[in-house]
Homo-oligomer: A and B are copies of this chain.
Amino acid sequence: MDIEFLDDTSLSESQIATSDQSLEDHSSDWGTMPGEEHPPDVVVWPESTEDVSSVLAAANDRGIPVTPYAAGTSLEGHAVPVEGGISMNMTRMDDVLDVRPDDFQIDVQPGILGSVVDETVAEHGLFFPPLPSSGKISTIGGMIANDASGMQTVKYGEIHDWVLRLEAVLADGTVIETGSRASKTSAGYNLMDLLVGSEGTLAVVTEATLELAGIPEQIWGGRVVFPNRTEASAAIADAVRSGVDVAKIELIDELSAAMANRYLDADLPDVPMAFVEFHANHHVESEIEFFRSILAGYEVEDVQIAESGPEMERLWEVREEMASALKQYDPDLTMLTSGDVTVPISKYAELIDHISTLEAEHDLEIPCFGHAGDGNIHYTVMVRRDDPDHRALGERVDAEIVHHAIELGGTCTGEHGVGRGKTAYLPEEFNQATVDTMGRIKETMDPNGILNPGKLF
């Protein structure tokens, strides 16, 4: 590809790279299986809305694909430039633009890391509740692109609940403003929530106003140990359905716990557990007592809940690093998928039982962990390396889990997004007319199809 057209943009030389290393660095993300990498023709690093706008306008005129890239932590291949063209690396646009503690608001550029937002507002006693577990290494822009969520979603909601306003650039370079710094608005179509979760296929976000919450005065947490997955998932679902005000409630199964022990020195029992956390400004013990009263109806081997301290912080670190521990699962096995199905909470135990049944039936290992309080599970089908038959079996089992989750009234992806990996499930989850409607909106907003082609559809 001839990149001379970039001379017409506001970019300087230091914002453009075509070295092999740069292209390789932008050819994959966390969700890319070996052999599925694809390099861009050029990488650009915009430093302003004007840069984004001028690159998009120039690319749009020429029909050149543009795939936004930031931390590369997407799990469904979102950031892979499957048709080449431009990889637009947003990480230089990582400024805090304004903090307004009186309004519980911060304005940021999209390339900022989630944890930097938290660090910036901590001095005001505030935090950004919906950060995903990857918040220390992933960017706000990426979270917006996927409508991410995290461990605290069970209490506080998803990314889209905490984004108040977006500035974004359309495919033709036009800058639009969506949402409001007011806490609510009914002014016109909600373009903001159309952009949130659109995976870089409708526009490139250049600025976001995020809402913040007050850091609770009391943070207590710990772990509950169960004899098996069935009992763990049933107890967790019951607690949520009973209205226990829990800030985090994660399922960690025996296989995940074993990996955490081996690779993260976690010192956990090798049995299914719930990791929990409670947030309150006063009388947190009353809520924990309520939680214990629900647990009393289940087989529970051990409950340890206490005021937050180093031990609990270590527990959450282990949870955050679970995905990387799983990557080292077994040298003979490779991770096939990163499951992300989510079902209504009343169906959660049934979903987990179904996974366990398939695991036994096909003699597979499928470690499971995730945001149980949301009805969300991250299951990972492990398959033998260089064994196409085993891989095919794993793929069939994975598809069966997704089909079953959709049958239970659930979704193929609770927070990871569609990317390349989940496109086939959309017509099943909605209907074909709905997916066609999404397609028409894509065509309207990006008529030349330059924005992250090959994803979501």
Contact = CB atoms under 8 A, between A and B. Distances in A.
Interface of A: 100, 102-105, 146-149, 153, 157-158, 160-161, 170, 174-178, 180-191, 193-194, 196-198, 202, 214, 241, 243, 245, 281-283, 286-287, 290, 340, 342-346, 374-376, 409-418, 422, 425-426, 429-431, 433-435, 437-438, 440-445, 456
Most chain B CB atoms below 10 A, which of A170, A282, A443: A282
Given A102-B345, A243-B214, A444-B444, A434 B176 contact: yes
19 contacts: A100-B344, A102-B345, A147-B190, A160-B193, A170-B433, A176-B430, A177-B434, A181-B410, A183-B344, A184-B374, A185-B411, A185-B414, A187-B426, A188-B456, A189-B198, A191-B434, A191-B437, A194-B194, A282-B283
A417 B186 contact: yes
A343 B180 CA distance: 9
A196 B190 contact: yes
Given A153-B184, A214-B243, 10 more contacts: A100-B344, A103-B345, A176-B437, A183-B375, A184-B374, A185-B411, A186-B413, A186-B416, A188-B434, A190-B193
A186 B418 contact: yes
Q: Most chain-B CB neighbours within 10 Å: which of A157, A161, A189, A414?
A: A189
Copies in the assembly, this chain: 2
Contacts of A148: 186
B429 A180 contact: yes
Contacts of A415: 184, 186
Nearest to A345: B103
A103 B193 contact: no
Nearest to A343: B182
A105 B344 contact: yes
Contacts of A181: 344, 409-410
Contacts of A417: 186
Nearest to A203: B437
Nearest to A237: B102
Contacts of A175: 431, 433
Nearest to A104: B241
A46 to B, nearest CB: 19
Contacts of A456: 188-189
Contacts of A410: 180-182
Contacts of A437: 170, 174, 176, 191, 445
Nearest to A183: B374
